[in-house]
Structure 1
Amino acid sequence: MAEFSEDDEGKSVVADGEEVGIVSEVEHGTAYVDPDPGITDKIKAKLDWGERDEDTYPLQEQAVDSITDDEIRLRSNL
């Protein structure tokens, strides 16, 4: 099972080889994904300047296949 940390903020979320969003914030072990990030959102997430808003969604741990240094890969059988 995936465990999210603040180190995951700013990582790309990838499904079937395509970026579907970025992790904008991790709070209490829950990663929140911005599904339509602009370059400003990516920079803010990397610098921990962002905040969760109505356009972010919690990422379910069971949906994660793997976590690398740069991205979070989702399971292909979702």
Structure 2
Amino acid sequence: MAQLTDDDEGKQVVNAEGEQIGIVESVEGGTAHVNPDPGMTDTIKSKLGWGDTDEETYPLDAENVESISDDEIRLQRL
């Protein structure tokens, strides 16, 4: 499982197909807080457990992360 750290702040979050779904605003206790891309579909939000709330950022657990590179966090296929 990937380890999310403060070094991941500002990285793009992309789905398994490489489409950007948001940017990491902060990392606290191994959980990234993601500012979602306005065009992200409700289906993806639902699969990540982000629901229909109008939060500014949403938690992203490391268990959903496939890999972390220097400039992006890629999610597992949902």
Normalising by structure 2, report the TM-score. Answer: 0.72
Partner amino acid, structure 1, of 2:74:
R
Q: Which runs of 4+ in 1 moved over 3 A?
A: none
**C-alpha RMSD over aligned residues:** 1.3
Q: 1:37-74: per-residue Cα shift (whole Å, max 9, x none)?
A: 7xxxxxxxxxxxxxxxx311110211110000000000
Corresponding residue for 1:21?
22
1:47-58 alignment to 2 at 5 Å? 54-58=55-59
Corresponding residue for 2:11?
11
Cα separation, 2, equivalents of 1:4 and 1:61: 7
For structure 2, the residue ranges without an aligned partner over 5 or more in a row are: 39-54
Percentage of pairs with the same residue? 62
1:1-78 alignment to 2 at 5 Å? 1-15=1-15, 16-36=17-37, 54-76=55-77, 78=78
Cα separation, 2, equivalents of 1:60 and 1:28: 10
C-alpha displacement of 1:17: 1.1
For structure 1, the residue ranges without an aligned partner over 5 or more in a row are: 38-53
| 8 Å CA contact 2:30, 2:61 repeated in 1 | no
Partner amino acid, structure 2, of 1:22:
I
Cα separation, 1, equivalents of 2:64 and 2:37: 19
| 8 Å CA contact 2:12, 2:72 repeated in 1 | yes
Corresponding residue for 1:45?
none
